[in-house]
Amino acid sequence: MSLETALKGIGLVTVVWFLFWALVAMGPLGWIVLGPILLIGIVQVYRKRDERRRQNHAASTAGVQNCPDCGAPNDPERTECKHCSVEL
């Protein structure tokens, strides 16, 4: 393990440790206030990731040509279908 990874791991553990004790110190009132905020934050992060993944997928499927015979997607530089060898 490199030093950088070790430091990152220690940093992460420290942050989690502080968050844990901050939550314990705040008590139920803090959980009620922070819980929904954290949940919304997590949902937003996942949504953004999903969006980015969808955009990447759209970009990767753009520029393909479908085989006129079997409909399989082929790279634009191909001259024959990779599935049925029909000329594109």
Where do we find the tokens 């040509």?
Answer: 65
Q: Which is nearer to Zn ion, 52 or 82 (CB)?
A: 82
Our finding on whether 64 is near Zn ion (CB under 5 A) is no
Q: Is 81 exposed, middle or buried (0-12, 13-18, 19+ CB in 10 A)?
A: buried
Three-class DSSP labels, 23-63: HHHHHHHHHHHHHHHHHHHHHHHHHHHHHHHHHHHHHHHCC
Interface pattern 23-62 for Zn ion (x via CB under 5 A): ----------------------------------------
Our finding on whether 69 is near Zn ion (CB under 5 A) is yes
Q: Which is nearer to Zn ion, 51 or 69 (CB)?
A: 69
Our finding on whether 84 is near Zn ion (CB under 5 A) is yes
Q: Which is nearer to Zn ion, 51 or 80 (CB)?
A: 80
CA dist 67 and 58 (Å) reads: 19
Given the rule CB under 5 A, which residues bind Zn ion?
A: 67, 69-70, 72, 81, 83-84, 86
